[in-house]
Amino acid sequence: MVTPQLTVQLSDGHRIPQLGLGVWQASQYEARHAVELAIETGYRHVDTASIYGNEEGVGEGIRNASVPREQVFLTTKIWNDAQGRENTAKAIDASLTRLKVDYVDLLLIHWPAPSKDKYVETWKALIAAQQAGKARSIGVSNFNPEHLHRLIGETGVSPVLNQVELHPFLQQQYLRKHHASLGIATQSWSPLGQGSALTHSGIVGIAQKHGRTPAQVIIRWHMELGLIAIPKSITPSRIRENLDVFNFSLDAADLASIEKMNTGTRLGPDPASFG
């Protein structure tokens, strides 16, 4: 069993394990089994969202595992249709009820949905939830720099983290620099490019060189860049494989070669127009 020892300190003082399990597109049943197995394997971080429709399964998987709930870093997110102060307050309580937990470790606004123009009010509901002990840390997902600046400017409270699409084909250098200047941690969603980066010949070559798998090379790349990654799998062997990245390193040539794979290609929607 390999346990990830690495954590990243957030600006509010809490620590987040650098590697977690994503459960988008997992059913309740699949999420329950994947989460339980992942925790038994050594994961201490699970990423879900109300829109994934599997919060009950995630909560059950955490309860079934032989690790106290306090040792598992749990994230959920507020979906676009629940934006606005009152709707968000209700959505937070509904997520806690489905997960059967008193608090989540991290609560995120899933998308800024700028056309709704409600993300500042939504952020105020997250601030209130944190003050009420329902979320240890609060952050955002898919926010562009202008959305971040508006939140901070209007509330004086900075998100601790921004979870964005980030993989070898979309490396987000500009956003990462921006985050660093604001003290915001960068979390990578679709860290494997939804599987598409696994067959890139450059990744396959690096994997062969190190006697590792393509998934391990890409996850290791996220770790070496100081990113927080949440690769998704419900397959036991892959769940184990994806965690086994803390006993090898990429060299400077590997990092330079992956840097060149950036094409700026998005797999998901553009945050400037989505929602």
Whether the Cβ atoms of residue 198 and residue 215 lie closer than 8 Å to each other: yes
Tokens of 155: 């509330």
Q: Is 30 in the site for ligand NAD (CB under 6 A)?
A: no
Using DSSP, state whether 139 is helix, strand or coil: strand
Which residues are CB-neighbours of 42 under 8 A, at least 6 positions away? 1, 2, 3, 4, 243
Site string for ligand NAD, 121-140 (x = CB under 6 A): --------------------
Catalytic one of 52, 103, 119, 174: 52
Stretch that binds ligand NAD, among 81-89, 127-135, 203-211, 232-240 (CB under 6 A): 232-240
Phi, psi (rounded to 5 degrees) for 77: -140, 150
Q: Is 100 in the site for ligand NAD (CB under 6 A)?
A: no
Confirm whether 52 is a catalytic residue: yes
Considering only residues 6, 120, 152, 198, which one is a binding residue for ligand NAD as defined by CB under 6 A? Answer: 198
Least separation, in Å, of the C-beta of 32 and ligand NAD?
15
Q: How many residues bind ligand NAD (CB under 6 A)?
A: 25
Considering only residues 62, 189, 203, 223, which one is a binding residue for ligand NAD as defined by CB under 6 A? Answer: 189
Least separation, in Å, of the C-beta of 171 and ligand NAD?
14
β pairing state of 135-141 and 104-109: parallel
Considering only residues 23, 72, 91, 125, which one is a binding residue for ligand NAD as defined by CB under 6 A? Answer: 23
Which of the residues 42 through 71 are near ligand NAD (CB under 6 A)?
Answer: 47
Which residues are CB-neighbours of 202 under 8 A, at least 6 positions away? 257, 258, 260, 261
The helix or strand, by DSSP H or E, that contains position 202, with its residue range, turns out to be helix 201-210
53-82 burial by CB neighbour count: b if 16+ within 10 A, else e?
ebbebbbbbbeebeeeeeebbbbbbbbbeb
Catalytically annotated residues: 52
Q: Site residues (CB under 6 A) for ligand NAD?
A: 22-24, 47, 110, 141-142, 163, 189-195, 198, 215, 230-233, 238, 241-242, 268
